[in-house]
Structure 1
Amino acid sequence: MATHRRKISLLLSLIAIIILSPQPRAAEHQAFNQGHRLLLNKKYSEAYRYFKDLYDSGTDSAAAPLFLYYGGKAAYYAGNLEQSAGQFNLLIARYQESPYLPYAFYFLGNVRYRQAFESAAIQAYLSAYSLSDDSRLDSLLLKSLETAISNAPVGIYEKVNLTSIPERKKCDLELALARGLKTAKNYQAVLSLLASCTSPEAARLKASVEQSLRQTAEIGIVLPLSGELQKFGESILDGAMLRAGQYTRETGKNLTPIVYDTRGESVEAARIVRRLAARGVNAVIGPLTSEETAVTSAALSCSDMPLIIPAAGQGGLTDLSLTSFQLQPTLDRQGIKMAEFAFQRLKIDTVAVITPTLPENLRMAEAFIDRFKALGGTILGVEYFRLRETDFGGIINDLKNLSFGGKLSDSAVYVNENGDTLESKEMPARIDAIYIPAEAPQLHQLLPQINFYNVRATYLGGDGWADSTIYFMGRDIIKTCYFTTAMIANENNTTFRKFNSAFFDRYGQSAGHLEALGYDAMSLICDGLETGAFSRSALVHYLININGFHGAAGDVLFGDDRENTIMPIYTIENGKPKRADQ
């Protein structure tokens, strides 16, 4: 590759010495002629020293840019690449109005290309092209850029910035870059680059790469496959790989999963996804956690590559990238949906809130409170507890007191309707509902204590309630409860039953929710490919307009923010979860 690079660069340079020589002004001829004769006679090292001495002896001379330019050329042909780069860089830094500037950038690009600094070479060529008014130079620059891009490592193209290129010259440049990208088989980048170029050649190039894309697809899968989160990443991977294999068998088309291990590290996940975007993959599935996803989505803020986020639940992640899609309903949406269900469906108008102080629990609680108030409901009170707390008597009595209008005293003794004397903690209290967005271990501690303190309420919750140990606590403890979750594998779901059967055949075990999410993420991409959405922009358009996708993990309908808006609500009957919102 390096020999090929040097040959191409040398060929273009030999052409350039003939046609790219801006003519010196008349006043500059006398000092210039002797060095120029040395250059024409191929005495390159002598010519370099001559022009360098001329520049060093009179840097204030109007001919200084001329001496730097020809000194740089002479050093270049002598093979002294660093000396050549030094002359061109000096010209560029000190004489930004010089007519030699685009030619200096061109030769500097050649220097860097011969040194295998592809990114620096391409940037220099682009600078030259943006400044050039010489059609001969433009032609050489377009050939140089096409060659450089076609041989550049994956990732170089993503650094290319065309904002400084004049509009009248942009399409020709895009065509040259697209030809190089096509040679490198980066077909997605060709389509993205030529999106606004309407020339006949652009149309032919796009049609050619679209035909290639119909035959094969590459899907990145970016998950933690080592470390503490390994088992969760592998679960999603197993589901995705199952669907990829089905697609290939069913269609006869090649779908290649490209799997990377993030090790659970956010920055590493973002680096991997950026490399995959530059490589030209159709889409990426991942990462796993909200922390990884936030950094990754931000890194894709200027990319057109679809990112299917299978499991992260934090809200706002899709705001960071216009091509990110969140498969798991967000924590915010859980709170909002439960508030709407309680107020509109259950006709509850007063709710107390008991929430852990972990960020994810607080997000759900805050979303619930804001939406419930907006609907016209009343929040009786909000109580917080730390993760390791086990005695909830204080916060339960605080809510009891609020339910009595603040008139319940710990020191007083009360008489019930039967004439029995009761302490305050024994007084029965009725609260319409208590929203508790806690996890199962916390609920095991909290619910029996609420029952002990004689508080009757309808319970509302979130994902933490979707746990078999909660189902078996008994009706006396869990009372009537409703909770939002997308974590329950619905055995009545035809798609899930078929998926689970195929999963068992391949892996020898039943699938869970994470496996179903991986399967659905890959299914969304495969379904898009089947409709002809081979380009990234077409796949994004397909995903935005999905309506009625029935996945193994549940239904999917992306909202304006590209978050899944389908949020199931369950109750518990006979020790099992049952849909309550259908």
Structure 2
Amino acid sequence: MKFKSKLLPLSIAAAALSMAAMGSAQAEDLVVKIGHTGPLSGSNAFAGKDNENGVRMGVEEVNAKKMMVGGKTLKFELVSEDDQCDPKAGVAVAQKFTDAGIKYVMGPYCSGVAIPASKIYNDGDAILSTVGSNPKVTMGGYKSVFRVIAGDNLIGSSMAQYAFGTLKAKTAAVIDDRTAFGQGLAEEFVKEAKVLGLTIVGQEYTTDKSTDFNAILTTIKSKAPDVIFYGGYAGQAGPMAKQMKGLGIKAKMLGGDAICVAETGKLAGDAANDTVYCAQGGAILDKVAAGPAFKEAYKKKFNQDPDAYAASFFDQTMFIATTMAKLGTVDSTKVSAELHKASYKGIVTTYAYDDKGNLQKAPITVYTFKAGMPTPVQ
């Protein structure tokens, strides 16, 4: 009994020391919350979840690498909110994040959210890394806003060039959904089309909630355009392509990055094949060195292929983390200043930003659809 009584205090002491050591190790973690804002419900939920997945993979990669910042181990924690691609909801998310002291936010997906929300993030000293492509997103004069893909000025103009130079189109009709993204993209297409000598035979308008386009398509059919450019999202592009086929419209359908996704093919069926052409602000993952490995890891984790911008959000998460490690601080104002000066070789491209936060030398790829899936053509 005496032998046992001597061991008991020792075992308790050992346990206490072990717990103290664990507490000390935990105290050495430098926890940084990474916000994600995007559509996690509604017709664009597929994109919001894909973007969130890209950020999640970046967060896990950072934590696995155990980067040191100021003598502590950097640990990212993801906090994700549904902004519904709605400006009012997106502003509420921005206020919630900044009130919580979150200084690093990935998203939004929709320009209509990014434009009003960017002021709130700026006022809260938060860095916003977005795929909102309307040029106005980076025209607010906010030094902490970064667009991680090409802007509409490049995407819209590239489709006008493709229509004129490759498809040999002479006439075009234009439809947009009146969102900041869709309207801005259509304006850039029209601007470049006129420079090239493409004749715009008609412009029609819809909404990002519509599903019936027969009336405006019938009007456009009477004008027999070579191409129809649609400024909007996949939720409308898919049904529109199907209705074009039903009306016997032979024109090719063109659009930007928001229709350059599997969801368009899913909604359009075979109507998208070799008919829908789109430009995406990003590289072809199969054609870049680290792309196939990222695709494989993503599919293993989420049981599906990555969509348009998962890899871009992964890259930006890593760029921010490596910048923190380089500077030895998580101060968002210092990290923001360094992001404007530094560069980072990611999966998609080498990231470097101009003074407005636009990605320099942003890659653009043109796709069509084969077997319902976006397939690169140029």
TM-score normalised by the shorter chain: which range applies?
A: 0.5 to 0.7
Deviations 1:125-180 (A, max 9, x none): xxxxxxxxxxxxxxxxxxxxxxxxxxxxxxxxxxxxxxxxxxxxxxxxxxxxxxxx
Alpha-carbon separation, structure 2, partners of 1:442 and 1:486: 23
Deviations 1:336-391 (A, max 9, x none): 22224444x43857331231443343332221111222x34232412315442325
Q: Tell me if 1:536 matches 2:332.
A: yes
- Aligned residues between the structures: 323
Question: How many angstroms does 1:334 deviate by?
Answer: 2.4
Match of 2:265 among 452, 468, 483: 468
Q: Tell me if 1:551 matches 2:347.
A: yes
Alpha-carbon separation, structure 2, partners of 1:561 and 1:571: 32
- Work out whether residues 225 and 261 of structure 1, in 8 Å CA contact, stay in contact via their aligned partners in 2: no
Alpha-carbon separation, structure 2, partners of 1:573 and 1:473: 9
Question: How many angstroms does 1:298 deviate by?
Answer: 0.9
- Work out whether residues 159 and 278 of structure 2, in 8 Å CA contact, stay in contact via their aligned partners in 1: yes
- Work out whether residues 349 and 376 of structure 1, in 8 Å CA contact, stay in contact via their aligned partners in 2: no
In structure 2, relative to structure 1, the CA distance for the partners of 1:541 and 1:533 (3 Å cut) is: farther
1:38-437 maps to which residues of 2 (within 5 A)?
A: 216=30, 218-223=32-37, 235-253=50-68, 254-264=73-83, 265-275=89-99, 281=103, 283-302=104-123, 304-309=125-130, 311-320=131-140, 321-343=142-164, 345-346=165-166, 348=168, 350-359=170-179, 360-373=181-194, 375-384=195-204, 386=206, 387=210, 388-391=212-215, 392-397=217-222, 399-400=223-224, 433-437=227-231
- Work out whether residues 435 and 461 of structure 1, in 8 Å CA contact, stay in contact via their aligned partners in 2: yes
Deviations 1:475-520 (A, max 9, x none): xx86566321248973444433222333455x35234225434423
Alpha-carbon separation, structure 1, partners of 2:55 and 2:274: 39
Aligned amino acid, residue 316 of structure 1: K
Q: Tell me if 1:569 matches 2:363.
A: no
Alpha-carbon separation, structure 2, partners of 1:252 and 1:468: 41
Q: Tell me if 1:443 matches 2:241.
A: yes
Question: How many angstroms does 1:227 deviate by?
Answer: 6.4
Counterpart secondary structure, 2:285 = coil
Aligned amino acid, residue 62 of structure 2: Y
Aligned amino acid, residue 54 of structure 2: G
Q: Which structure carries more helix by proportion? A: 1
Query: TM-score, structure 2 length as denominator?
Result: 0.68
In structure 2, relative to structure 1, the CA distance for the partners of 1:318 and 1:491 (3 Å cut) is: same
Match of 1:500 among 281, 284, 295: 295
Q: Tell me if 1:521 matches 2:349.
A: no
Q: Tell me if 1:484 matches 2:279.
A: yes
Aligned amino acid, residue 570 of structure 1: Y
CA RMSD of aligned residues (A): 3.9
Alpha-carbon separation, structure 1, partners of 2:357 and 2:247: 40
- Work out whether residues 319 and 344 of structure 2, in 8 Å CA contact, stay in contact via their aligned partners in 1: no
Alpha-carbon separation, structure 1, partners of 2:376 and 2:312: 19
Counterpart secondary structure, 1:551 = coil
- Work out whether residues 267 and 295 of structure 1, in 8 Å CA contact, stay in contact via their aligned partners in 2: yes
- Work out whether residues 171 and 200 of structure 2, in 8 Å CA contact, stay in contact via their aligned partners in 1: yes
Alpha-carbon separation, structure 2, partners of 1:314 and 1:351: 25
Counterpart secondary structure, 2:242 = helix
Question: How many angstroms does 1:291 deviate by?
Answer: 4.3
In structure 2, relative to structure 1, the CA distance for the partners of 1:334 and 1:250 (3 Å cut) is: same
Where relative contact order (Cα < 8 A, 6+ residues apart) is larger, the structure is: 2
Counterpart secondary structure, 1:353 = strand
Alpha-carbon separation, structure 2, partners of 1:377 and 1:231: 37
Alpha-carbon separation, structure 2, partners of 1:437 and 1:287: 18
Which protein has the larger Cα radius of gyration, Structure 1 or Structure 2? 1
Aligned amino acid, residue 354 of structure 1: V
- Work out whether residues 365 and 437 of structure 1, in 8 Å CA contact, stay in contact via their aligned partners in 2: yes
- Work out whether residues 235 and 515 of structure 1, in 8 Å CA contact, stay in contact via their aligned partners in 2: yes
Aligned amino acid, residue 314 of structure 2: Y
In structure 2, relative to structure 1, the CA distance for the partners of 1:394 and 1:433 (3 Å cut) is: closer
Between the two proteins, what is the percent identity of the paired residues? 15
Aligned amino acid, residue 96 of structure 2: I
Q: Which structure carries more strand by proportion? A: 2
Q: Which residue of 2 aligns with 1:173?
A: none
Alpha-carbon separation, structure 2, partners of 1:291 and 1:577: 25
Deviations 1:276-318 (A, max 9, x none): 55x7x4x332345444433331124456542212x43444122
Question: How many angstroms does 1:442 deviate by?
Answer: 0.7
User: Unaligned regions of 5+ residues in structure 2, if any?
Assistant: 1-27, 84-88
- Work out whether residues 549 and 557 of structure 1, in 8 Å CA contact, stay in contact via their aligned partners in 2: no
In structure 2, relative to structure 1, the CA distance for the partners of 1:512 and 1:301 (3 Å cut) is: same
In structure 2, relative to structure 1, the CA distance for the partners of 1:479 and 1:270 (3 Å cut) is: closer
Alpha-carbon separation, structure 2, partners of 1:216 and 1:524: 17
Aligned amino acid, residue 218 of structure 1: V
